[in-house]
Chains A and B, each alone.
Chain A
């Protein structure tokens, strides 16, 4: 079934002939993963327009629009509104550079104006703010952010963290899967995932896993105290508390188990969805987290993703 629609670069998907000179109406539109080519037949002097595949993948057609969905999983194709997880690689004069897909791809930019100032004040960013940039985020920090804009000139991404859900990630672990294995979902923040951890599923394939915040001692007291506080303060306090509470053995094991469950799925090229991770997690209960990545165990654990 799939092999019928599988195309490779250079393969002609569709062609339409029209006589030279007239700009006849095309029967198709060029989508991602394709390019148009005009071929003139010298004997009949007839121009033919061909739609040719440019990546390996499956042909997908919506009315006239023909796209090729790539089979390879390497490239993250950003869309406005995506939740992404990335690592700060450089601090510039007014912006941070954020690597979204390891070192192999273009970096996104997080402008100073795209983040909330401490205390949530709304004002124009000053030179003092620029000097303090490294206090907020420095090289090597992991952040979660939302794609704000795509630069129309070169396709680079502009991020923002203008919500308390976004911002610096700390005291957790990070793992990454090929972006194609990470489907877009309604919700990419999972708090209390499996009653054990909080997970941030970046659409770019980067995943952040940390101990669940609600497990913290005194969390509820804190919330009660801060009833009158603003949202930002409460989040800030929660983060501080998270940082100051020691991490227990059980928390570490749960984080490691979720991480290795994700790794297992990526190893067999299965979709990394919360449902799959949950199944793998539950089936791995008889194993130590470290043993989950042995090839035999990977195949056994991920059997649920195959029919």
Chain B
């Protein structure tokens, strides 16, 4: 009974999800690079469906305390905060900035970025990544990771690869990619299967994968994981196209033959 309710809930008879997507389809992804140009080293605004994250990167700069410095590499100073209006539907949150889940998101974001940024090139310094979640419709961590990657690229900080992220989940036997808030929240007392995954797409390395739900078998886990990685690759294609377009605009403007449509974001 429970399962049939859930199934009717998430996936319609025509095998479409409640927002009209196919199970393996990611949400509309929009990327804006350098929306805060001039204010910061690098910035990016990423929209995954209705989830929106703004990342700002500064650095490499001085550490706040000498004791924080590492002799052989840079440290990452990561903060994830939420706009007070970004949690309209979540009544459990009283103060968005002391929310433990945001602290946890910052921790995962830091781990993912430490595996991606070439930190040894800037010893004794600090790179600051600040992500502001402007709207949350599920996949907040993934939007934060994608936004941070784009902001780092915009700032010109050397990285091994892109670090792209996407969630995957499970509805009965079907894997769903890039869950929205409704799909990732628990229903009928059953926690939903949510697996956020971050990877370096061009090398195929997974740098973050996390799943707290109970799965029937390891085989299922592998399927969900594979679905998340497919989502990551789809995200990568869009991010890469946006980054290339931006770079082409900047370079040709500098050379003196180009359009200036993107000069005024």
Please tell me if A181 contacts chain B, counting CB pairs below 8 Å. yes
Q: Which residue of B lies closest to A57 (CB)?
A: B247
Contact status A75-B250, CB under 8 Å? no
Please tell me if A3 contacts chain B, counting CB pairs below 8 Å. yes
CA distance A302 to B263 in the complex (A): 12
Q: Which of A3, A104, A154, A269 has a CB less than 8 Å from the CB of B41?
A: A104
Report the stretch among A6-14, A157-165, A209-217 that lies at the interface.
A6-14
Using A2-B248, A73-B250, A106-B61 as known contacts, say yes or no to A9 and B160 having CB atoms under 8 A apart.
yes
Report the stretch among B8-16, B121-129, B183-191, B226-234 that lies at the interface.
B121-129
Please tell me if B3 contacts chain A, counting CB pairs below 8 Å. no
Interface mask (A32-62 → B, CB under 8 Å = 1, otherwise 0):
0101000000000000000010111110000
Contact status B58-A104, CB under 8 Å? yes
A269 cross-chain contacts in B, Cβ below 8 A: 249-250, 253-254, 260, 263
Contact status B244-A72, CB under 8 Å? no
CA distance A54 to B159 in the complex (A): 5
Please tell me if A155 contacts chain B, counting CB pairs below 8 Å. yes
Q: Which of A73, A103, A302 has a CB less than 8 Å from the CB of B61?
A: A103
A8 cross-chain contacts in B, Cβ below 8 A: 153, 162, 240, 243-244, 247
CA distance A271 to B263 in the complex (A): 14
CA distance A180 to B255 in the complex (A): 12
CA distance A10 to B161 in the complex (A): 4
Contact status B161-A154, CB under 8 Å? no
Q: Which of B161, B246, B253 has a CB less than 8 Å from the CB of A9?
A: B161
Q: Which residue of B lies closest to A269 (CB)?
A: B253
Contact status B251-A2, CB under 8 Å? yes
Q: Nearest Cβ in chain A — how far from B135, in angstroms?
A: 27
Q: Nearest Cβ in chain B — how far from A200, in angstroms?
A: 20
Interface mask (B57-74 → A, CB under 8 Å = 1, otherwise 0):
011111000000000000
CA distance A51 to B264 in the complex (A): 35
Interface positions of B from 111 to 133, Cβ below 8 Å from A: 118, 122-125
Interface positions of B from 137 to 157, Cβ below 8 Å from A: 153-157
Please tell me if A299 contacts chain B, counting CB pairs below 8 Å. yes
Please tell me if A172 contacts chain B, counting CB pairs below 8 Å. no
Using A8-B240, A9-B153 as known contacts, say yes or no to A106 and B161 having CB atoms under 8 A apart.
no
CA distance A34 to B227 in the complex (A): 31
Which of the listed residues B162, B201, B258 has the most CB atoms from chain A within 10 Å of its own CB?
A: B258
Using A2-B248, A8-B244, A299-B260 as known contacts, say yes or no to A270 and B155 having CB atoms under 8 A apart.
no
Please tell me if B158 contacts chain A, counting CB pairs below 8 Å. yes
B98 cross-chain contacts in A, Cβ below 8 A: none
Contact status A104-B263, CB under 8 Å? no
Please tell me if B202 contacts chain A, counting CB pairs below 8 Å. yes
CA distance A231 to B257 in the complex (A): 45
Q: Which of A3, A9, A73, A106 has a CB less than 8 Å from the CB of B60?
A: A106
B62 cross-chain contacts in A, Cβ below 8 A: 106-107
Q: Which residue of A lies closest to B244 (CB)?
A: A6
Q: Nearest Cβ in chain B — how far from A179, in angstroms?
A: 10
Please tell me if B97 contacts chain A, counting CB pairs below 8 Å. no
A285 cross-chain contacts in B, Cβ below 8 A: none
CA distance A299 to B243 in the complex (A): 24
Using A154-B123, A267-B264, A268-B260 as known contacts, say yes or no to A72 and B252 having CB atoms under 8 A apart.
no
Please tell me if B203 contacts chain A, counting CB pairs below 8 Å. yes
CA distance A8 to B157 in the complex (A): 12
CA distance A35 to B203 in the complex (A): 14
Using A6-B244, A9-B161, A35-B118 as known contacts, say yes or no to A268 and B263 having CB atoms under 8 A apart.
yes
A10 cross-chain contacts in B, Cβ below 8 A: 159-162, 200-203
Q: Which of A11, A58, A305 has a CB less than 8 Å from the CB of B251?
A: A58
Q: Nearest Cβ in chain B — how far from A20, in angstroms?
A: 20
Which of the listed residues B158, B160, B244, B264 has the most CB atoms from chain A within 10 Å of its own CB?
A: B158
Q: Which of B161, B253, B257 has a CB less than 8 Å from the CB of A268?
A: B253
The 7 A-B residue pairs whose C-beta atoms are closest, nearest first, are A10-B161, A72-B156, A71-B247, A10-B202, A54-B158, A269-B253, A104-B58
Q: List 30 A-B contacts (CB under 8 A).
A: A3-B244, A6-B247, A6-B248, A6-B251, A8-B240, A8-B243, A9-B162, A10-B160, A35-B158, A54-B159, A54-B160, A70-B156, A72-B153, A74-B42, A104-B40, A104-B58, A105-B41, A153-B123, A154-B123, A154-B124, A155-B122, A266-B38, A267-B263, A268-B263, A269-B249, A269-B250, A270-B253, A302-B260, A306-B256, A306-B260
Which residues of A line the B interface, CB within 8 A?
Answer: 2-3, 6, 8-12, 33, 35, 52, 54-58, 70-75, 103-107, 153-156, 180-181, 266-271, 295, 299, 302, 305-307
Given A74-B156, A270-B256, A295-B264, 12 other A-B contacts at CB below 8 A?
A8-B244, A8-B247, A55-B159, A73-B250, A74-B154, A104-B40, A105-B59, A106-B60, A153-B124, A155-B122, A306-B253, A306-B258
